[in-house]
Structure 1
Amino acid sequence: MMNNSLAQLINNVNTSKRSLITILIITLCLLSSNTYANDDFYPPWSHGKNNPVKQRGLEITVPEVDNLPDIHGDPFHSALNIFLGGNYFFVMAPLVEEFVKEHPQFEGRIYYETLPPGLLYKQIEQHGVITVGNMTWQVQADVYAAGLRRVEQLIKEGRSNGKAVPYVTNTLAIMVPKNNPKHILSLTDLAQPGIKLVMPNPQFEGIAQQIEKSLVKAGGEQLKQSVYGTKVNNGETTLTHIHHRQTPLTLLEKKADAGVTWQSEAIFQEKIGNPISYVSLPSQVNTRAIYAATTVKGNLHPEAAQLWIEFLQSQKALSIFKEYGFEAYRQTH
Structure 2
Amino acid sequence: MTSSETLRDAWYVAAYTSELEEKGMIATTLLGDPIVIYAKTDGSPVALEDRCVHRLAPLSLGRVEGDHLRCMYHGMLFSAEGAALEIPGQDLIPKRACVRSYPVVERSGWLWVWPGNPERADEALVPPVIGMRHPDWFLHEGLLDYDASSDLIITNVIDLGHLTWVHRESFGADEAWAETVPTTSPIERGVRVTRWLREIPPIPPLGKAADHERLDHWTTFDFFAPGVFHFYNAMYPVGTYDKYAGGEPDRADETLLYEHYTQQFVMPMTEQKSRYFFTWGPSTRVGNAEEGAIMREVNYQAFAEDQAIIEAQQKIINLDPSRRPMPTVHDKAVTLYEGIVRKLVREQNAALGAAPALEQAG
TM-score range for the pair, normalised by the shorter chain length? under 0.3
TM-score (norm 1): 0.27
Which structure's relative contact order is higher, taking Cα pairs within 8 Å and 6+ residues apart? 1
Q: Which has the higher strand share?
A: 2
- The structure with the greater share of residues assigned to helix is 1
TM-score (norm 2): 0.26
